[in-house]
Structure 1
Amino acid sequence: MANPFKPTAGMTPPVLIGREDDLEEFEMALDNGVGDLGRLAYVTGPRGIGKTALLNAYGDIARDRKWDVIDETADQGFLDRLVEALTDTKTKVRSVELPTVRLDLGGTPVGLSTSLGGISLEPTQRALTFRRAAGQRLDVLEKKNRGLLITLDEVQASDITELRALATGMQHLIRERRNVAFVFAGLPSMVEDVLNDNVLTFLRRANRTVLSGIPIPEVHHAFRTIITTNGKQASDEVLDTLSASTRGYPFMIQLVGYWAWAYTKNSNVITTETTQKSDSASPTRSG
């Protein structure tokens, strides 16, 4: 039996525990149409709390509705990558630095050197702004009653220029009543830095989701459901131990569950001995 727990970073687990309300709100935002509050949103919380997993789940909801979804990470060059994804083109060479040439004057100790400078090669798609590229994609999608979702992970203020360009373009798309949604995510301090930027005031109106730990009773219920539906059994005592050891931390739920499942090997029962091995292995394996 395959292990149903997936602690791999950035991967959406089979069951997104404790986020049912967030998922339902996003479903309503897409179904309610243009102008719904949830179509411009951000997700924040500490590392490992499930921000990326929630963005992935939002993408799945949009894809189920036949929307186009583009997922990006807010590192250097992300805006160019968005435009490339929207226009289905690849970025070509942007500039070439020409060499320096030295001219020796024969019979004299004098020499001259000069730089030939550089030639900027801006391909056609570089002239497309994000707003225009997104608008062209939406022209096609909206004829089929479909929309466009863009998610941006790891938002921070280190390259504020690209964020400003993206936010400005998105603001115009929303004002034009395009069938678009934008959700970004980041650590609390990083997101606050972005929202406090004088040019990015538009994003302060975004719907906020602050992720925190999952209540232990919900963890207990999720463990029971996942374990039993995948062919194994565990007593209430074992489930209590597994649940408590996670402290409600989403990543730890996956990690503890992963090792509890792995240590049962071919057995169909997760035992107290298994939970002890899992509890000792999880902090070690997670660093």
Structure 2
Amino acid sequence: MKNPFNPSFGRVPKIYLDREQTVHQLEEDIQDVDSPYLTTLIYGMRGSGKTTLLTDISHDIRKRADWIVVDLTMGDALIPTLIELVYKQADSTLKNLLKSIDGISVSAAGVLKIAYQRNQASVTNSPHQPLLESLAETLQQRKLKLLITIDEISSTPALREFAAIYQILLRNEYHIALLMAGLPSKVSELQNDDVLTFLLRSQRIYLEPLSLLTIKNSYRQAFSRGKREIDEHTLNFITKITNGYAYAFQLLGFLLWRTGKSLIDQATVDQVLADYKAELFRNVYLKMYQELSPVDRKFVLTMAELGGNTVKTSVIGTRMNKSKNYISIYRRRLLDDQLITAPSWGELSFTLPFFAEFVIEYHDLY
């Protein structure tokens, strides 16, 4: 049996936990032109499954004959790329309609060319607005809907321009759905942009940690189907050391399966534990840590050095020799970034497995 676990970023794994209902509901919601979910922001920490969720929805909607799906990546040419990808997926009739739009032409070699008059008047003062309005009108004439996904969003001039025009297209009741995914801080930055306040009214989906019970049952079923035996103690242990982190669930399952052992016991787990930590540290934690401010790093280092599953916020303040108000600012920042959680009043803990160990081991290097 092929390894059912897949820790590759962006790929939809065979075992896809706690997200199926979100995917199904969102796919149904965007069918309605009046749905508030036509504009949805999906956010969570790295490795929480944002890209996978976008990919899953994109693949499903692409199968519907009345939808065109465009997956965009952040860059300076969001709108030209969007137009090119719509044209690429169009049938011959739609291609001819698109070529009739003022500003769109196709060379003899079949290369799409986009030209516009920069002095064209528009509400957004963007030369792209007339093009996108014509594109939307053409799709509407063909009774086609458009799904646009954008991953790893950040507040750039190109995205601000696109979002401002998209708002106008929504007001004109074109059936265009926009799903954007990003880190919590990036989503917050985009929503607080003075030009894009309408995003404050968009729907938001927070990808929470996976249920430990779901993880345990999924491990049990996967190993059973693969004729792998695992005892209850080992099953509980591997579940706990994922800490509900989606990437960790896939990674640990992948490594254990790859051992080829018919009996998965504590010795098998010990065999892969070093690789498990190394992959977490290199593939996810290092980037997270590098993005932290110096004070954020000091905060998490203090937490790590204090040890234990939970640390009192007051003790962190004492160790850092900082006031309660000062500590609360960085506590809130790290909570918003989902690196830490508050399991009870006045206490904090790390959300990621072995993150304290990573910080202690690597803080001197960065």
TM-score of the pair, normalised by structure 1: 0.77
CA contact (8 A) 1:138 1:147 kept: no
Which of 141, 147, 150 aligns to 2:148? It is 150
Report the Cα offset of residue 257 of structure 1. 0.6
CA contact (8 A) 1:70 1:85 kept: yes
Gaps of 5+ in 1: 90-122
Task: Give, as a single letter, the amino acid of the residue that structure 2 aligns with 1:36.
Answer: S
Report the Cα offset of residue 184 of structure 1. 0.6
Report matched runs for 1:28-177 at 5 Å: 28-31=28-31, 33-66=32-65, 67-88=67-88, 124-127=113-116, 129=128, 132-133=131-132, 135-136=134-135, 139-140=138-139, 143=142, 146-157=144-155, 159=156, 161-177=157-173
Moved more, 63-72 or 203-212: 63-72
Q: Which residue of 2 aligns with 1:179?
A: 175
Give distance in 1, aligned partners of 2:73 and 2:234.
39
Report the Cα offset of residue 57 of structure 1. 1.6
CA contact (8 A) 2:136 2:169 kept: no
Task: Give, as a single letter, the amino acid of the residue that structure 1 aligns with 2:138.
Answer: D
Task: Give, as a single letter, the amino acid of the residue that structure 2 aligns with 1:228.
Answer: S
- SS of equivalent residue, structure 2 residue 195: coil
Q: Which residue of 2 aligns with 1:209?
A: 205
CA contact (8 A) 1:7 1:255 kept: yes
CA contact (8 A) 1:154 1:186 kept: yes
Give distance in 1, aligned partners of 2:8 and 2:130.
34
- Are residues 126 and 247 of structure 1, via their aligned partners in 2, closer, same or farther at CA, if it must alter by over 3 Å? farther
Q: Which residue of 2 aligns with 1:20?
A: 20
Give distance in 2, aligned partners of 1:12 and 1:129.
34
Report matched runs for 1:183-262 at 5 Å: 183-262=179-258
CA contact (8 A) 2:79 2:128 kept: no
- Are residues 236 and 76 of structure 1, via their aligned partners in 2, closer, same or farther at CA, if it must alter by over 3 Å? farther
Task: Give, as a single letter, the amino acid of the residue that structure 1 aligns with 2:158.
Answer: E
Which of 257, 265, 268 aligns to 1:274? It is 268
Give distance in 2, aligned partners of 1:129 and 1:76.
13
Report the Cα offset of residue 270 of structure 1. 3.0
Task: Give, as a single letter, the amino acid of the residue that structure 1 aligns with 2:150.
Answer: L
CA contact (8 A) 1:43 1:209 kept: yes
TM-score of the pair, normalised by structure 2: 0.61
Report the RMSD for the aligned CA atoms in angstroms: 2.5
Report the Cα offset of residue 70 of structure 1. 1.2
- SS of equivalent residue, structure 1 residue 274: helix
- SS of equivalent residue, structure 2 residue 153: coil
- Are residues 131 and 169 of structure 1, via their aligned partners in 2, closer, same or farther at CA, if it must alter by over 3 Å? farther
- SS of equivalent residue, structure 1 residue 164: helix
The answer to which structure, 1 or 2, has the higher relative contact order (CA under 8 A, 6+ apart) is 1
- SS of equivalent residue, structure 1 residue 246: coil
Aligned residues: 248
Task: Give, as a single letter, the amino acid of the residue that structure 2 aligns with 1:68.
Answer: I
- Are residues 146 and 219 of structure 1, via their aligned partners in 2, closer, same or farther at CA, if it must alter by over 3 Å? farther
CA contact (8 A) 1:50 1:251 kept: yes
Cα deviation 1:190-248 (Å, max 9, x = unaligned): 11111111111122211001122112111112222333345544333332222111111
Gaps of 5+ in 2: 90-111, 117-126, 283-366
- Are residues 152 and 52 of structure 1, via their aligned partners in 2, closer, same or farther at CA, if it must alter by over 3 Å? same
- Are residues 268 and 230 of structure 1, via their aligned partners in 2, closer, same or farther at CA, if it must alter by over 3 Å? same
Task: Give, as a single letter, the amino acid of the residue that structure 2 aligns with 1:84.
Answer: E
Give distance in 1, aligned partners of 2:130 and 2:146.
13
- Are residues 150 and 138 of structure 1, via their aligned partners in 2, closer, same or farther at CA, if it must alter by over 3 Å? farther
